[in-house]
Structure 1
Amino acid sequence: MSARFAGRVVLVAGSGDGICRATAVAFAREGATVMVAGPDREELEGTLKLIRDAGGAADSVVADIASGRAEESARMVAATVERFGTVDIAFNNATVSGPTSNLADIQEQDWAQTLAANLTGVWMAMKHELSRMEANGGGVIVNTACNMAQTGRLVGQSAYAASKAALSALTRTAAHEYVAKGIRINAISPGPANEPGSSFADGATPEQVADTVVWLCSDEAVFVVGHDLVLDKKTV
């Protein structure tokens, strides 16, 4: 265990597995106290076990920011503050792929649900996180956008690409609004993940993505503000 994030409280929001799990474990390994938020209690418990078995401190709250509902974000931030006293760092990893259809074939409900999950849900999370961080005098937020916001190359995923491109723009704008208040805001844009059972051997693993998030939240990245960091070898 490292002490790089000792004394800091990190909220990891989105799910209890994949990139969220890897990031929660990575922060705990660096000495942070971690709150993990997601809709699946069993997945959250699995993440807590990994952290606690390694000697880390963590808790969880069932909350689904991808629902786009204000009460979900309010509950996870309130639970973090109630349990640990504050929120110093937040990683918002809401990702719903939405319909696989050409643009003209997307149904209005599917379009609305995709934007609610990937854009409105993160906006809601940021509202509550920023309120707490402003009261603390500073903090760090990282959001998960997507490489398709840069390339647009995956045919049939225009709703998803649009929602993530909007999130990238939201992140950059918010970064300019809050940097003077001591809050750094950035985004990451991973390509397809190299996870067990996937066919994306060239993609970053959840652990590699987690390492990037941890770095963005560290003092080593103190001058990185309003950036959307693409994690995809095939983008260029």
Structure 2
Amino acid sequence: MKRFTDKVVIVTGASSGIGRQAAIEFAREGAKVAVVARREAEGTETVEIIEQNGGTAIFIAADVSNSSEVKNMVSSVVEQFGRLDIAFNNAGVAEGIANTVDLSEDEFDRVITSNLKSAWLCMKYQIPAMLQTGGGAIVNMASVWGVLGTSMGVPAYVASKHGIIGLSKATALEFGQQGIRVNCISPAWVPTEANSPVLDNPDIYPQILAQHPIGTLGTTSNVADAVKWMCSEEASWYTAQNLILDGGYSAQ
């Protein structure tokens, strides 16, 4: 039997990259998947890929930093599928390069809102829906820079990812006895559309690759596989944790 048969899953930021891969793989293992993204064309394409492979999915357009849109996202999923069991809150933004002194207040607010506030909003509305059917599992997207730091000029991004880890731990402790598990995943560098401007630079790529002792960068499937495990019955005793998936990056 497939691991997620009869389960209903929300994946945010599922129009490309890690989110799209996770949505496809959850569906492959039997889940009904709500593909959530701001970009309708790309999100619909994710749904089409799932359906072409025999899976079940719907697309919901939502900006997960907007409270009313998140509320509507969750209610639409429950209306369509009757329940919510799993959420992978993957949506987020990168940051324009600037050090702490030069970073604008507007840019700081944009990154914190899009990354940290959105994770809180998603859980705020997902958890009550999950409690209606006895519990569920949530994974929030953090980053290896949520446990370390970097001098690359993205202080708001680093702060947002540290915040997601703390928020996830606090929420896991609040709702653990009600059947809600909350964890984070913190990848190092994974080639995606979002970071291709950096990784496609032949002067920068070798430096980034050298920071991963395993000798390779991660893949979207590496991350999706870890997220699926955290949401499965195999991880039923795993909560309030941050899974660092980084090819040895943080061990140096």
The two structures share one fold, judged by TM-score above 0.5: yes
Q: CA deviation at 1:154?
A: 4.1
Superposition CA RMSD, Å: 1.4
Q: CA deviation at 1:155?
A: 2.4
Distance in structure 1 (CA, Å) of the matches to 2:242 and 2:81: 29
Cα offsets for 1:94-141 (capped at 9, x unmatched): 221123111011111111111000011110111000111122210000
TM-score, with structure 2 as normaliser: 0.89
Is the Cα–Cα contact under 8 Å of residues 18 and 192 in structure 2 kept in the other structure? no
Q: Does 1:216 align with 2:236?
A: no
Q: Which runs of 5+ in 2 are unaligned?
A: 200-204, 210-215
- Report the equivalent of 2:41: 42
- Of 71, 74, 77, 1:74 maps to 71
- Of 121, 126, 132, 2:123 maps to 126
Cα offsets for 1:39-84 (capped at 9, x unmatched): 011111111111111101111100121xx21012111111111111
Is the Cα–Cα contact under 8 Å of residues 14 and 23 in structure 2 kept in the other structure? no
- Of 221, 228, 239, 1:207 maps to 221
Q: Percent identity?
A: 37
- SS class of match (1:95): coil
Task: Give the 5 Å matches for 1:39-118.
Answer: 39-65=38-64, 68-118=65-115
After TM superposition, where is structure 1 displaced by more than 2 Å over at least 4 residues in a row? 194-203
Q: CA deviation at 1:153?
A: 2.3
Task: Give the 5 Å matches for 1:21-40.
Answer: 21-40=20-39
Distance in structure 1 (CA, Å) of the matches to 2:60 and 2:150: 36
Structure of greater Rg: 2
Q: Does 1:18 align with 2:32?
A: no
Is the Cα–Cα contact under 8 Å of residues 148 and 154 in structure 1 kept in the other structure? no
Is the Cα–Cα contact under 8 Å of residues 86 and 136 in structure 2 kept in the other structure? yes
Is the Cα–Cα contact under 8 Å of residues 185 and 225 in structure 1 kept in the other structure? yes
Is the Cα–Cα contact under 8 Å of residues 78 and 84 in structure 2 kept in the other structure? yes
Q: Which runs of 5+ in 1 are unaligned?
A: none
The one-letter code of the counterpart of 1:61 is I
Distance in structure 2 (CA, Å) of the matches to 1:36 and 1:223: 27
